[in-house]
Structure 1
Amino acid sequence: MADAPFAAAADLHAHSTVSDGTDTPAELIASASLAGLEALAITDHDSTAGWAEAAHAARELGIALLPGLELSTRVQFASVHVLGYLVDPTDEGLVAETARIRDSRLTRAEQIVRRIAADYDLTWDDVLAQTSDGATIGRPHIADALVARGHAETRSDAFAGILHWRSGYAQPHYAPDPLTGIRLIRAAGGVPVLAHPGTRGAEDVIPETRLRRFVEGGLFGLEIDHPENTDAAKSRLRELARRYGLAVTGSSDYHGLGKPNRLGEYTTAPEVVARIIAEGRGSAPILP
């Protein structure tokens, strides 16, 4: 489209060491440049702490950057994530809620490590060794510690084995319900998109009655083109997006060495990025 701010599509979901990625925010931007991307969103879990470093690198390398975050929410025992683009990082409601989530993540991580340590050689110091200063500590860092200790081959193996809920070591952390999360993002001037809603298959795609409430609460779009959404789920989600006038986004959910996902393997169309920028009131994108 002529009024789109970018000539190319954007990868709108990527993590740095501020949460559970393995690239620093600056390295994340450099990786995006090497991957041939012209636009990227930084979306660390429940944190905007990487924005300043990423913005500096984006200006230096001529990469367009959408500041964002991935907000943790929950439906009963099921984890649900909501991407929030262009939020105000100083919004009191969002700051308070993300701090509460991060505190709960930390407490949960410590409890999980204590449980694992009863059966495996693992300490909290092992986990801290896998994090950077100020990072939102979570299960991926425990997985990395298990790998470093030789209890798993890769982070994915750790999640499929010791950290799988069937192993009995895991427990949930505090998170608001998705509707509350959507409203928080909108109240902070941001644009909310439901993250990877088809990873469990078409039969577990969000019920339409619940989705309708999310739309009424301000949901902007669905992250459909994602490496972990199943094909059957994508088909169902596209049908729902058409029915409720929701935007369709695509993203890699890049975590550096933490996942096999490749930067730019899925992207969002320039006209959708333009709509996000038009609706976002909390912060501004970094444009080359």
Structure 2
Amino acid sequence: MIDLHTHSRASDGTDTPGQVLEAAAAAGLAVVALTDHDTTSGWADAAATVARTGVALVRGTEISTRIATPDGGISVHLLAYLHDPAHPALVAELARTRDDRLTRARRMTDRLAEDFPLTWQDVLAQTHDGATVGRPHLADALVVAGVVAHRDEAFATMLHPGAPYYVPHYAPDTADAVRTVLAAGGVPVMAHPRAGKRGRVVDEETLAALADAGLAGLEVDHRDHDAADRARLREVAAELGLLTTGSSDYHGAGKRNLIGENTTDPAVLAEIERRGKLEVLRP
């Protein structure tokens, strides 16, 4: 079994990168991708755990991008697999995004503090060393403060893009990010393209334009997609010649997603590895 979308403490998960591989092993996975938000800082720890756990590692990143629209834009998460972590253009974009995420989190905290018992120190207390502060850490602080019961409730209400406390952050244009990932030798796959509960989603005309820009695949099997979403995404992928993946979007205790709850066909992973600059790290 292959799960191509997980998160560790390097971004907004609750497990260390090594613990992600341990969880994958316990779930019977053969391969797992570590795809922390806008960072590759967890790769080394995860790689050091491959031999002990017996789980192969796909090194990746989930990149925050945005498609411009007249009314504010649409957030798109792009999974990059097996890219060069030192590629200058990609490194610069990820650093800019992380820096802006930090200042944005502080602004959101200030807004929330006007109505709820929340301080910046409360948020920092929920953030592990080296991780960029983001909305999940605000959500965790709100849980600890007793304002919400869990992260999902926070994201559905006060942290939702339509809420008055929400502040957008810098993100590169999606097509530009696709091209940057390709230049870095990576394989770009759009994460949860029909996850409407998270905010607005892109239309099929935009998916076609991204395919023309070099998008390699769509994450089809994801808990935020119902049966109709999955069926249509498979049709769109076939029409556009895109790969289809499946994954859990595991965050440890941070979300109720179970590692391995959706998986990817081995033939798809083989094609991703064929196209990528890096190899899958195997035990």
Q: TM-score, normalised by structure 1?
A: 0.93
Name 1:199's counterpart in structure 2.
195
Query: Which whole-Å CA distance do the structure 1 matches of 2:257 and 2:63 have between them?
Result: 20
What is the deviation of 1:55? 0.4
Which deviates more from structure 2 when the two are superposed, residues 172-181 or residues 48-57?
172-181
Name 1:56's counterpart in structure 2.
48
Instruction: Identify unmatched segments of 5+ residues in structure 1.
Output: 1-8
Q: Of 22, 29, 34, which residue of structure 2 is paired with 1:37?
A: 29
Name 1:231's counterpart in structure 2.
227
Q: Residue 20 in 1 paired to residue 15 in 2?
A: no
Q: Of 259, 277, 281, which residue of structure 2 is paired with 1:263?
A: 259
Q: Residue 284 in 1 paired to residue 279 in 2?
A: yes
Which deviates more from structure 2 when the two are superposed, residues 232-241 or residues 266-275?
232-241
SS of aligned partner of 1:253: coil
Amino acid at match of 2:42: G
What is the deviation of 1:205? 5.6
Contact 2:74 2:201 in 1 (8 A): no
Query: Which whole-Å CA distance do the structure 1 matches of 2:234 and 2:48 have between them?
Result: 36
Query: Which whole-Å CA distance do the structure 1 matches of 2:92 and 2:226 have between them?
Result: 34
Q: Residue 208 in 1 paired to residue 204 in 2?
A: yes
Amino acid at match of 2:107: Q
Query: Equivalent residues in 2 for 1:114-129 (5 A)?
Result: 114-129=110-125
What is the deviation of 1:215? 1.3
Amino acid at match of 2:112: I
Query: Which whole-Å CA distance do the structure 2 matches of 1:33 and 1:184 have between them?
Result: 32
Amino acid at match of 2:55: I
SS of aligned partner of 1:165: coil
Amino acid at match of 1:118: E
Contact 2:102 2:134 in 1 (8 A): yes
Query: Which whole-Å CA distance do the structure 2 matches of 1:162 and 1:205 have between them?
Result: 20
Q: Percent identity?
A: 52
Amino acid at match of 1:68: G
Contact 1:192 1:220 in 2 (8 A): yes
Name 1:5's counterpart in structure 2.
none
Map Cα deviations across residues 111-139 of structure 1 (whole Å, 9 max, x no partner).
00001111111111111111111102110
Q: Of 41, 44, 69, which residue of structure 1 is paired with 2:61?
A: 69
What is the deviation of 1:159? 1.5
Cα 1:174–1:85 change in 2 (3 A) is same
Contact 1:16 1:50 in 2 (8 A): yes
Q: Of 147, 152, 157, which residue of structure 1 is paired with 2:153?
A: 157
Query: Which whole-Å CA distance do the structure 2 matches of 1:100 and 1:231 have between them?
Result: 37
Q: Residue 246 in 1 paired to residue 242 in 2?
A: yes
Cα 1:164–1:208 change in 2 (3 A) is closer
Query: Which whole-Å CA distance do the structure 2 matches of 1:210 and 1:162 have between them?
Result: 29
Amino acid at match of 1:105: R
Q: TM-score, normalised by structure 2?
A: 0.95
Name 2:172's counterpart in structure 1.
176
Amino acid at match of 1:45: H
What is the deviation of 1:194? 0.5
Instruction: Identify unmatched segments of 5+ residues in structure 2.
Output: none
Query: Which whole-Å CA distance do the structure 2 matches of 1:206 and 1:146 have between them?
Result: 30
Cα 1:166–1:205 change in 2 (3 A) is closer
Map Cα deviations across residues 53-86 of structure 1 (whole Å, 9 max, x no partner).
0000112211110000000001233211000000
Query: Which whole-Å CA distance do the structure 1 matches of 2:246 and 2:137 have between them?
Result: 26
Amino acid at match of 1:28: V
Give the aligned length. 277
Q: Of 215, 219, 226, which residue of structure 1 is paired with 2:215?
A: 219
SS of aligned partner of 1:74: strand
Query: Which whole-Å CA distance do the structure 2 matches of 1:75 and 1:231 have between them?
Result: 26
